[in-house]
Structure 1
Amino acid sequence: MRRAQTLRTWLEYLRQTERLATIEKQVSLQYELAAVTKKLDGVKAAFFKQVEDYSIPVVSGICSTREQFAEAMETDPYDVIRRFTEAVASPLPCKQVGNDEALVKENIIREDIDLMRLLPIPVHHEKDAGNYLTAALFIVRDPVTRKQNVSIHRLQVTGKNRLGALLLPRHTYHLYKQAESAGRALECAIVIGVDPLTLLASQASTPFGVDELEIAGALRGEPLEVVRCETVDIDVPAFAEIVLEGKILPHVREPEGPFGEFPKYYGPRSDKEVVEIMAITHRHQPIFYTIVPAGYEHLLLGGIPREASLLQSIKQTVPGVKAVHMSLGGTCRYHAIVSILKRNEGEGKNAILAALANSFDIKHVVVVDEDVDIFNMEEVEWAIATRFQAERDLVVVHGAQGSKLDPSTDEGVGSKLGFDCTIPLDSEPMRYLRIKIPQYDGINLEDYL
């Protein structure tokens, strides 16, 4: 069995490799759970056995380093983007199983749905409007093509069986608006507690009509097993921990937010779409999974799929592109570092323009030669310091669409910058020759100390 076959097999792998912290002390849903998780960010996953008076444990931080996502794929960190790109290009159809094989069907609740009574849903940040689902796959189906769409949305508990949902203008929103214009609700399934690869697949940048669960199957190297929901026409991972079945109500909007988002600022309060939950299914002794917003897990989950998309976009313009990195300091959204093998003058600037065109979120782009380690920010800063001159190497674009969650923009409109830190092809050889100490790589300090 693969180490990331299910959430439970992955947690066992983390436990065996001493990267799962088990917290026996009772913790509060309000801030304390998020605070402890944040203290462990990038070091260990946090498994809370006693959350207030709930019988359900909570886990967070299950993949908070690039290396852990590589381990889930059973490859090395430098191969992650290639593997992800291949999975997006060659999705693997899911395998349908019956209720008797699907552990998520071990318990079925159809009556008296009370989300906060049943589930330990946390409050993460000081000014958050309430309890939020932050790590749930949100699955809807196109009634025409029968293809599903999978994404993750912030979901605020606003009533016993109601959630306020932030739906950005992408695939789920498109299907919802189609249904709403016909006066219909859009059925949905909200899936809590899946393996890291299925989570990662949900964030893939794909054309409309691609089922991200099939990308998850390609990442795993075998079809993802799915089962049909009880009350809605949606297929969900058969070994998920918890599934909420519901519908997005037509012509209903209710206040949602504020909520602490990935830029480490709050998304504002406004009227949003509303989900009504009609049924819950779950495994015996289910595990609730949450992501602390703006933590490493949150940032990397969005950053790695964006890197795959960015690499393909730049390659169409600059075939010599070697690698890309959406940095943590740029929230894995706003800053892109690009490595290229430059064969022609001007390719550095072309790479900048291609990167900016890939996503409106991208705000600053740094392009370097392939001798610079783009995952080492000290190296990147060194390249800016010693290979960049603003007069010839700076690209500035004003009045461009950016992220509305970036508080420095004017309602999402702002400026973009590109730094071409590539060496001029006609430079004198010694001018940019990096210093090197012979024998350095072969030195073992234990032989000397």
Structure 2
Amino acid sequence: MPDDLVWGTLSDLPLLTYHEKDAGPYFTSAIYLAKEPDTGVPNLSFHRSMYVSDTEIRARLGSSHDLAKYQKRAESRNECLEAALLIGTSPEVFLAACSSLPYEGNELEVAAQLSGAPVRMRPCRQIDLMVPADTEIVVEGRFLPNTKRPEGPFGEFMGNYVPVGDNHVFEVLDVSWRKGAYFHALTCGSNEDLRPLEAMTAARVYQHVSRVIPGVIDVCCRPNCMISIIKIKKQYAGHGKQALLAALGSNMDYNKVCIAVDEDVDIYNLDDVMWAYMTRGPADKRAFILNDIPGFYRDEKKDHWGRLAIDATMPWGREEEFERKRIPGQGQIDLSEYLNSN
């Protein structure tokens, strides 16, 4: 156990209420660490968590997330699921928690790969878990079986409030922090929230599409993680549509809109992406809608069902007609040579 730890309660922390109609303070950037009940493989994941008291947090565990599956498996045995809430982790652990791995995947191994070294761990005091040793604040506890209580409303990342719902109860057993610890928080739907999620979602889409489709160059999921833009080096007629179909099957939660573009388009510039769609063919023949496909898991009213796919690539065999105009020497201009800093 590190020498610089201090113990206290949740109410010692700077608890934040983010929006006008939120039910109360929330932990928005905290990461749950838990072990698969049978294999012991650790999992890192984000779940909005409402502060109720110093001994109780209520968390929304999306049914598609591994932590929800862990809890359900423990609950089938009428057992609690031990977990630790990590606040203020290293950037590598934070990014790993954003990733979406197969059920048997280990996000701590992803964090180690990102940092180039194994994640240094320390034991918890009240539960049988090891947690990253450099975490600023650690909340130890357990999810109670067969117990749900009202949680919400809360202003979620889509920009609106999610209503009150019966969600899982996390019993707090211990709270510790490093001397001089900082409290990490973020506003849901802000750039700080979406950018890491978009990066890890794009990585998943890229891995999936490039396994089954040739010529995939890059994938971007901006300006919202529900949009995937795929850049390809087109090799045959229909290549763009094939890439779109592969992308649509890569992530059932977030791929609401998929767009395929050619290699000369800047996928990180939505103006450039829409320029390609508007100028490289008829708008009506290059977009297709897939109805009644389940989408984001937190969507009981099916507001986010369905998919839109747009092939914004050039018509096959007519590439010369759509060559982009270029200004000679444009990329060599250094504006600092013409601007007086004084």
Q: 1:368 to 1:108 in 2, by over 3 A?
A: same
The equivalent residue for 1:442 is 332
The equivalent residue for 2:169 is 274
The equivalent residue for 1:244 is 139
Matched, 1:383 2:282: no
The equivalent residue for 1:342 is 234
The two structures have a TM-score, normalised by structure 1, of 0.72
CA RMSD of aligned residues (A): 1.8
Amino acid at match of 2:310: F
Once residues 167 and 131 of structure 2 are traced to their aligned partners in structure 1, the CA distance between those partners, rounded to angstroms, is 25
Once residues 94 and 336 of structure 2 are traced to their aligned partners in structure 1, the CA distance between those partners, rounded to angstroms, is 43
Please report how far the alpha carbon of residue 426 of structure 1 lies from its aligned counterpart in structure 2 after TM superposition: 1.4
Q: Identify which range, 386-395 or 164-173, moves more after superposition.
A: 386-395
Once residues 336 and 203 of structure 2 are traced to their aligned partners in structure 1, the CA distance between those partners, rounded to angstroms, is 40
Q: 1:290 to 1:428 in 2, by over 3 A?
A: closer
Matched, 1:217 2:116: no
Q: Does the CA contact (< 8 Å) of 1:183 and 1:250 recur in 2?
A: yes
The equivalent residue for 1:318 is 213
Amino acid at match of 1:132: Y
Q: Which has a greater percent of helix?
A: 1
Once residues 413 and 212 of structure 1 are traced to their aligned partners in structure 2, the CA distance between those partners, rounded to angstroms, is 28
Q: 1:284 to 1:446 in 2, by over 3 A?
A: closer
The equivalent residue for 1:131 is 25
Q: Does the CA contact (< 8 Å) of 1:399 and 1:413 recur in 2?
A: no
Amino acid at match of 1:420: D
Amino acid at match of 2:104: G
Q: Deviations over 1:312-355 (max 9, x none)?
A: 11112222110011012xx22x1111100010111101111111
Please report how far the alpha carbon of residue 448 of structure 1 lies from its aligned counterpart in structure 2 after TM superposition: 5.9
Please report how far the alpha carbon of residue 412 of structure 1 lies from its aligned counterpart in structure 2 after TM superposition: 4.8
Please report how far the alpha carbon of residue 159 of structure 1 lies from its aligned counterpart in structure 2 after TM superposition: 2.1
Please report how far the alpha carbon of residue 141 of structure 1 lies from its aligned counterpart in structure 2 after TM superposition: 1.1
Q: 1:388 to 1:257 in 2, by over 3 A?
A: farther
Q: 1:416 aligns with which of 300, 307, 331?
A: 307
Please report how far the alpha carbon of residue 443 of structure 1 lies from its aligned counterpart in structure 2 after TM superposition: 3.3
Q: Does the CA contact (< 8 Å) of 1:267 and 1:405 recur in 2?
A: no
Q: Deviations over 1:383-439 (max 9, x none)?
A: 111013234322210111112557xx943553211111111221162x212111222
Q: Does the CA contact (< 8 Å) of 1:367 and 1:419 recur in 2?
A: yes
Once residues 164 and 6 of structure 2 are traced to their aligned partners in structure 1, the CA distance between those partners, rounded to angstroms, is 35
The equivalent residue for 1:175 is 70
Q: Does the CA contact (< 8 Å) of 1:388 and 1:419 recur in 2?
A: no
Amino acid at match of 1:396: I
Q: Does the CA contact (< 8 Å) of 2:294 and 2:302 recur in 1?
A: no
Stretches of structure 2 that go unaligned for 5 or more consecutive residues are none
SS at match of 2:21: coil
After superposition, where does 1:182-221 map in structure 2 within 5 Å? 182-221=77-116
Q: Does the CA contact (< 8 Å) of 1:149 and 1:171 recur in 2?
A: yes
Q: Does the CA contact (< 8 Å) of 1:148 and 1:209 recur in 2?
A: no
Q: Deviations over 1:51-110 (max 9, x none)?
A: xxxxxxxxxxxxxxxxxxxxxxxxxxxxxxxxxxxxxxxxxxxxxxxx1xx36x62235x
Q: Does the CA contact (< 8 Å) of 2:277 and 2:313 recur in 1?
A: no
Once residues 291 and 261 of structure 1 are traced to their aligned partners in structure 2, the CA distance between those partners, rounded to angstroms, is 12
Please report how far the alpha carbon of residue 228 of structure 1 lies from its aligned counterpart in structure 2 after TM superposition: 1.2
Amino acid at match of 1:274: V
Q: Does the CA contact (< 8 Å) of 2:89 and 2:136 recur in 1?
A: yes
How many equivalent pairs are there?
337
After superposition, where does 1:146-165 map in structure 2 within 5 Å? 146-165=40-59
SS at match of 2:293: strand
SS at match of 2:291: strand
Q: 1:428 to 1:292 in 2, by over 3 A?
A: closer
Q: Does the CA contact (< 8 Å) of 2:88 and 2:183 recur in 1?
A: yes
Once residues 322 and 16 of structure 2 are traced to their aligned partners in structure 1, the CA distance between those partners, rounded to angstroms, is 53
The equivalent residue for 1:306 is 201
Please report how far the alpha carbon of residue 144 of structure 1 lies from its aligned counterpart in structure 2 after TM superposition: 2.2
Stretches of structure 1 that go unaligned for 5 or more consecutive residues are 1-98
Matched, 1:358 2:238: no
Q: Deviations over 1:283-338 (max 9, x none)?
A: 1122111111111010012111111100011112222110011012xx22x11111
The two structures have a TM-score, normalised by structure 2, of 0.93
After superposition, where does 1:27-176 map in structure 2 within 5 Å? 99=1, 102=2, 106-109=5-8, 113=9, 115-116=10-11, 118-169=12-63, 170-176=65-71
Q: Deviations over 1:184-243 (max 9, x none)?
A: 111111111112121000121111122212211110001110011111111111111111
Matched, 1:393 2:262: no
SS at match of 2:84: strand
